[in-house]
Amino acid sequence: MLTMLLTIGLVYIAILFFFAHRVRSTSKTTKQYLLGGADIGAVLGFFTIAATLFSTFSLLGMPDFFRIHGVGAWIFLMFSHCVMAFSILWFGFELRKKAREREWQGMSGFLAYNFRSRFAGIVGFIGVFVFLLPYIAIQIRGVAIFLHATFPEVIPMSAWATILVLVMVIYSEVGGLKAIMYSDVLQGILLLVAIWIIGYNCLHHFGGIRAMFEEVEKVNEALLSVPGPKGLFNFQFLLGSLIAILMMPYTQPQISTRLVILKDDKTLRKMAIGLGAFGIVIILPTVFMGMYGASLYPDASTSEFLHKTYISDQTEIIGSIVMLGIIAAAISTSDSQLFALGGELRSILTGADEKMVGYARIGILIFALSSLLLALLSSDELVLLARTSFAGTALLAPLIFTAIYYKRAYALRIIPIATLLSIIALIFSLLGIFPHDFMNIRMDLLLFLLLAVLAVLSVVIDTRKTEKG
C-alpha cells in the first residue's frame, strides 16, 4: 500500500509543481502574485472556493461528526453552507462593489482604508491570524495522524506533518495564488471521486438507505434525531454555527479575496449556485460513512474509525486514492489559508509593492512554521476546533459589514476597539479564564450579538448626528 501511495502521491506532487511552474509569474507584484492576476473565471473561481471550503474538515471531520453526534450534523454544516452560498449573492455583491473603490489587497487593508485607521486593519489581521492559524494546524494534524495510523512503522506523526508543510510552502511560494487555484481544481475533483467511492461502499455494505438507518437505530437511536447522543446540536449551537458559517466569505480572507478577484458579477452568480449544489454532493456521502461508523465502529477512536473505514475496509487502490484525496484536501485548504494570511499582512504594510510582497512571502514562511508547531500540540477534535475558528473570525463581521455598508465608517472608531476586546474575551473564554457561557448564552454567540448591536447603534447615532449637523 505504501508503494502505491508513494507512486500516486509523487505523480500528484509532480502535477502540482508542473502547474506552479506553468503559471509562475516573474512579476512579484500584489496583483500578480498574491491575487492571481485578479481576473478569475467561473470554473476556476467555483473550484477554488469550493476546495478552500471543503477540506479535511469535510473528508475526515464530518463522517466522524455524523458517527458521534448523529444526523443533526446536516443542519449544522450543510444547511448553514447553503444559506452562506445564497448570502454570497447578497453581501458578496456589495463587498465587490465597495472593494472596487480602491485596489483590493486584502480585508485588513480594506478595513484600514474604510475606517481611515491602521488600527482597524491591525485588528482585522489579529482576528484572522489568531483564529485561522489553529484551523490550518488542525488540518495538518488531521492528515498527519491519519497517515501515522495507516503507516505506524514508517515515520512519526511529526515527520508527516513536516513533509506536508514543506510541500505546501515550496509549492505556493513558487507559483503564487494562481498555482494554488489550479491545485484547488485538482483537489476538488479528487475529493469528489474519493468521497463518493467510500460513501457508495459504505451504503452498499447495508444494502440500502432504509437498512442503514434501521441498523443505526438498533445501535443508538439518539443518533437519528437532535440534539444527538451527547446533546451537542441544541438551538444555540446550531444558530451560532449558522452565523459563523454565514460570515465565512467575509471574515475568512482566503474566501473574501477570491470573491473580490472574480472576473465579474456574473461569475459571482454562477459560483454561488455551484457552491450550494456542490456542497450537497460532497456532504451527502459523509452521512453514509458516519452511519457506517456508528453501526460498525461506535466505540472506536477518531483515527481508528477513519483508518478502518477509509483503508482497512477498502481495496488497496481505493485506499490509496482516498488517502491522496485527503492529503490533497489538506494541502489545498491550508496553503490557501497560509497565503491569505500573507495577503492580509501585505495589505496593512505600506511601501514599495514588490518589497512588501517580499515581506508577505517571509510572513507566509513564518505562519507555516507556526502552524506546524501548533499542529504538533493541538487536540484531535477536528470539527469542533474548526467551528471555533469560524466563530472566532465571525467576530470580525460587524466591523467588516460596517466598512461595506456605512460610508462614514471612519467616524465609528469604537467598533475596531470593541472587536479587539471581544477577540480577547473569546480567547480567554476558550482558555477557561472567562466562563464558556453567560446567562446560558454561549460566549461566541453573545459577543457576536453585542458587537452587532453596537455596530447598528453606532451607525444610527452617527447618522442622526450628521443629519442634525
Q: Which residues bind another protein (CB under 8 A)?
A: 71-72, 74-75, 78-79, 82-83, 85-86, 89-90, 93, 97, 208-214, 221-222, 224-227, 233, 235, 238-239, 242, 264-266, 268-270, 272-273, 276-277, 280, 287
Give the three-class secondary structure for 378: coil
* Residue 42: CB minimum distance to another protein, A: 12
Q: H-type helices in 261-312, by residue range?
A: 265-296, 302-307
Instruction: Give the side-chain half-sphere CA count within 13 A for 104.
Output: 24
* Residue 58: CB minimum distance to another protein, A: 15
Nearest Cα neighbor of 326 from 195, 460, 456 is 195
* Residue 454: CB minimum distance to another protein, A: 23
Of the pair 85, 202, the CB lying nearest another protein is at: 85
* Residue 352: CB minimum distance to another protein, A: 35
Of the pair 83, 296, the CB lying nearest another protein is at: 83
Alpha-carbon dihedral angle through residues 67, 71, 74, 75, given to the nearest 10 degrees: -130
Of the pair 35, 78, the CB lying nearest another protein is at: 78
Q: How far apart (Å, rounded) are the C-alpha atoms in residues 400 and 394?
A: 10
Of the pair 121, 279, the CB lying nearest another protein is at: 279
Q: How far apart (Å, rounded) are the C-alpha atoms in residues 142 and 226?
A: 26
Of the pair 335, 444, the CB lying nearest another protein is at: 444
Of the pair 33, 213, the CB lying nearest another protein is at: 213
Give the three-class secondary structure for 288: helix
Give the three-class secondary structure for 262: strand
β partners of residue 40: 262
* Residue 230: CB minimum distance to another protein, A: 13
Residue-level length of the chain: 469
* Residue 272: CB minimum distance to another protein, A: 6
* Residue 274: CB minimum distance to another protein, A: 10
Q: How far apart (Å, rounded) are the C-alpha atoms in residues 52 and 188?
A: 9
The answer to whether the beta carbons of residues 435 and 428 sit under 8 Å apart is no
Cell of 90: 447578497
Indicate if the alpha-carbon torsion angle 166, 171, 176, 177 is positive or negative: negative
First to last CA, the chain: 74
| Cis bond upstream, residue 227 (ω within 30) | yes
Give the three-class secondary structure for 442: strand
* Residue 282: CB minimum distance to another protein, A: 12
Of the pair 121, 293, the CB lying nearest another protein is at: 293
Of the pair 195, 415, the CB lying nearest another protein is at: 195
